Chain A
Amino acid sequence: MAISMILIPARSSKQGTSLNKGKLKEEYMEVTSTVEMNQDDMAILELNDGDQVKLSNNIGSTVVRCKGRKPEDLPAGMLFIAYGPPSSQLMASDTAGTGMPLSKHMQVLVEKVAA
C-alpha cells in the first residue's frame, strides 16, 4: 500500500551538529536518512519507529527510516526530513527560471519496505 504525502526537507539541530563532524560520517548519514511521520499515518501503513520506508516520485526514490510524531505537531499527510543526499534524490531540477529548485513540499509516494 502506498500513500501520497508532502515531504518537507529542512534543517534540524542534529543535522547542523552532525554535519560539522563530517558529511561522510555515520551520524550525518543517519540524521539525513530519518523521516518524521504523523503517527496516525504510520499506523495506516503498519509502520513502527525505525522501520524502513520507501519515498518515491517521478524523479527518483530513496529508502529511509521513519519516526513518529504526534498529530498536533505534524499534520497528517506531511513528512519532515533533515535535508541531505537522500532527500536530494527526490528533487526535480527545474527551477522555473529562478535558479531555485523546489526543495520543499515534494509530493512523494510512501510505502513500507518489507524487512
Chain B
Amino acid sequence: MSENIRTVKNATCTFCGCVCDDMELTVDMDEKRITKAKNACILGRAWFAEHVIENHPAAMIDGKEVSIEAAIEEAAQTLVKAKFPITYGLSDTTCEAQRQAVAITDIIHGTIDTTTSVCHGPSGLAFQGIGESTMTLGEVKNRADLVIFWGGNPAESHPRIFTRYAVTPKGMYIPNGKKDRTVVLVDVRKTPSTPVADIFLQVKPGKDFELLWALRALVKGRRIDPDIEEITGISLATLTDLVDKMKNCRYGVLFFGMGLTMTRGRHFNSGALLALATDLNEFTHFVAKPVRGHGNVTGADNVVSWQTGYPFGVNFSLGYPRFNPGEFTTADTLSRGDADAALIIASDPASNFSKAAIDHLHKIPVITLDTKQTITSKLSHVAFSTATYGINTSGTVYRMDDVPITLRPAFDSPFPTDEEILTKIKKRVHELVLAKRGSSGARGEAKVASIQSL
C-alpha cells in the first residue's frame, strides 16, 4: 500500500438494489485500488475490493485487440446491417449510459430489453394490471411496525436491507428499532435470513399464489377451508393470526423477491401480493416493494419508461415503441432465434440464460460493453472494456425505491465509460441510417446534429 491515500465519503455501492450511499472508501491512488469500504456489507466489500484496473484491451474484434475507433465502426456497421438487432442488459451502468442505449435502439429500429425481464419483470407486469401501494425506504425505517419478506433471502442477497433500512434501525415512530417491529419471513426453505424473523412460514414450493390468495380472502372476511394447510404447508390458525397482525399494524410492509417472480405463476404471484397490500389499505396503511437485484436496474426501468412509455421488452421496428413481453423480451428473442445481432451492456446472458438462448448467442454477432471478462464478452464479435460505474465513473443510479443518487467515483480508469462508447456508437449509427435513407450531406449533418441535442 502506498502513501498516496484518498478518502471518498458518501460514496455509493451499486452491487445490489440497496444502493447504500453511506460508503466511506479508502483509496490507494498509486495502486488504483480500494483498500477499505467502511459501512459496506460483505457483498459491497467484495464489489469495491475486486474492481481494479484489469489488464485487457479496451477494444477487441473477434478476440484481437483493435483501436476503439475501429471497434466503434464495426459495432455501428453490425447494428445497422441487422434486421432485428437487440439491446440487452443495462442494469449495471449509469442512467446517462442507459439513455444512449435507448437512443441507439430507437435509431436502428431495434429491440431494447433490460435484466428486469428476468428479474422483477413479472412484478412490472403485475404493476401494470393492479398498480402498487409503495414507499421509499426511509418510511420503513421511520414507521414500519410489521415487515414481511416474501420469497427472498436478504441476508445473502441484500444484507443491509435488514440493518440499514427495514429491521434494526430506530426511526421517528419506531424508537426501539427491531423491538418495535414484528418481522415475518415466507420462504420454501430455511436460510440465513430465517433467524432475523419473529415468524417464519415455510410454504410449499410453487404454492405462493394459493397462500397469498387465501390471505386476501381472510383479509376480506371470507371463509377459508382448513385444507389450506395441506395445499400450502401453512395452517389456517397461522394465517388467521398473520391477517390479524396485518390489519392491526400501523404501517405494514411487504418486501418480495425472486421466489415469486421466477416460479410457477410469475406475474400472478407478484400480482397477488400487490393486491393483498392494496386490500389491506381498507384497514390500515400498507405498502409493498419488489426487492431489486442489481444496482441500477431501477434506473433502467425508469429510463426506458420515460423515453418509450414501457419499462422493458420494447421494440422499435415500426418506428415507434411497442411493448410485448414474450415477443420482445430477450429470453425469447434469443431462444427463438429472432435476434440477428445483439448489443449487450453490463450483463452476462451467456452465463445465466437458457441453453437455447446461449446457443443462439454463439451464432449471431454480439457487441458487449463490460468491465470484466465474462462468458458473453469472450464469445463477442466486438468487445469493449469499460470503466466501472460508481468506482471509476460518476453518473446517476436509482435505488430499489426509485430514489435517484449521484455516484462519487474513487479512482480513474484508463478505459472509457459506457456512456462515452455508446454516445459514439449512437452518432455513427445515426449517420449510417440517414445515409441508408438517402438523407446525407448538409441536411443530413443538420439532422445528426439535431438528435445530438438529446
Instruction: Tell me, yes or no, whether A and B come into direct contact in the complex with CB atoms closer than 8 A.
Output: yes
Interface residues of A (CB under 8 A from B): 6, 8, 10-13, 16-18, 20-24, 59-60, 72-75, 78, 80, 83-85, 88-89, 91-93, 95-105
**A23 and B351 in contact (CB under 8 A), knowing A10-B153, A99-B117?**
yes
Closest 9 CB pairs of A and B: A99-B329, A97-B326, A93-B335, A17-B46, A93-B354, A99-B117, A20-B50, A20-B46, A99-B325
**A102 and B263 in contact (CB under 8 A), knowing A13-B42, A21-B46, A74-B189?**
yes
13 contacts between A and B (CB under 8 A): A6-B205, A60-B355, A74-B190, A88-B358, A92-B354, A93-B332, A97-B326, A100-B266, A101-B118, A102-B266, A103-B258, A104-B263, A105-B263
Residues on B with beta carbons closer than 8 Å to the beta carbon of A103: 118, 258, 262
Interface residues of B (CB under 8 A from A): 15-16, 42-43, 45-47, 49-51, 113, 117-118, 121-122, 125, 153, 155-157, 159, 188-190, 192, 202, 205-206, 258-259, 261-264, 266-267, 312-313, 325-327, 329-332, 335-336, 348, 351-358, 372-375, 378
B190: contacting residue among A8, A18, A21, A73, CB under 8 A? A73
Measured between alpha carbons, how far is A10 from B356 in the docked complex, in Å?
21
Measured between alpha carbons, how far is A10 from B329 in the docked complex, in Å?
21
Counting chain B CB atoms within 10 Å of each CB, the highest count among A59, A101, A102 belongs to A101
Measured between alpha carbons, how far is A85 from B352 in the docked complex, in Å?
6
**A98 and B355 in contact (CB under 8 A), knowing A24-B373, A24-B374, A103-B258?**
no
Q: A17-B46, A59-B354, A104-B258 are in contact. List 15 more A-B contacts (CB 8 A).
A: A11-B153, A13-B192, A22-B373, A23-B375, A24-B373, A73-B189, A75-B189, A75-B202, A93-B331, A93-B336, A95-B326, A98-B122, A99-B312, A99-B330, A100-B329
**A83 and B188 in contact (CB under 8 A), knowing A8-B205, A93-B331, A100-B261?**
no
- Report whether B189 and A100 are in contact in the complex, using a CB–CB cutoff of 8 Å: no
Residues on A with beta carbons closer than 8 Å to the beta carbon of B355: 59-60, 88-89, 91, 93
**What distance in Å separates the Cβ of B344 from its nearest Cβ neighbour in chain A?**
14
- Report whether A84 and B351 are in contact in the complex, using a CB–CB cutoff of 8 Å: yes
State the majority secondary structure of interface residues on A: loop
Residues on B with beta carbons closer than 8 Å to the beta carbon of A96: 266, 326
**What distance in Å separates the Cβ of B51 from its nearest Cβ neighbour in chain A?**
7
- Report whether A23 and B348 are in contact in the complex, using a CB–CB cutoff of 8 Å: yes
Residues on B with beta carbons closer than 8 Å to the beta carbon of A100: 117-118, 121-122, 261-262, 266, 329, 331
Measured between alpha carbons, how far is A60 from B378 in the docked complex, in Å?
23
Residues on A with beta carbons closer than 8 Å to the beta carbon of B263: 102, 104-105
- Report whether A17 and B42 are in contact in the complex, using a CB–CB cutoff of 8 Å: yes
**A99 and B50 in contact (CB under 8 A), knowing A8-B189, A16-B15?**
no
- Report whether B335 and A16 are in contact in the complex, using a CB–CB cutoff of 8 Å: no
**A99 and B189 in contact (CB under 8 A), knowing A17-B46, A85-B375, A93-B335?**
no
Residues on A with beta carbons closer than 8 Å to the beta carbon of B266: 96, 98, 100, 102
- Report whether B374 and A23 are in contact in the complex, using a CB–CB cutoff of 8 Å: yes
**A16 and B331 in contact (CB under 8 A), knowing A23-B374, A88-B358, A98-B122?**
no
B331: contacting residue among A21, A89, A101, A104, CB under 8 A? A101
**A98 and B15 in contact (CB under 8 A), knowing A23-B374, A88-B352, A88-B354?**
no
- Report whether B46 and A16 are in contact in the complex, using a CB–CB cutoff of 8 Å: yes
Measured between alpha carbons, how far is A67 from B157 in the docked complex, in Å?
21
Residues on B with beta carbons closer than 8 Å to the beta carbon of A23: 348, 351, 372-375
- Report whether A11 and B351 are in contact in the complex, using a CB–CB cutoff of 8 Å: no
**What distance in Å separates the Cβ of B376 from its nearest Cβ neighbour in chain A?**
9
Closest B residue to A83 by CB, please name it.
B352
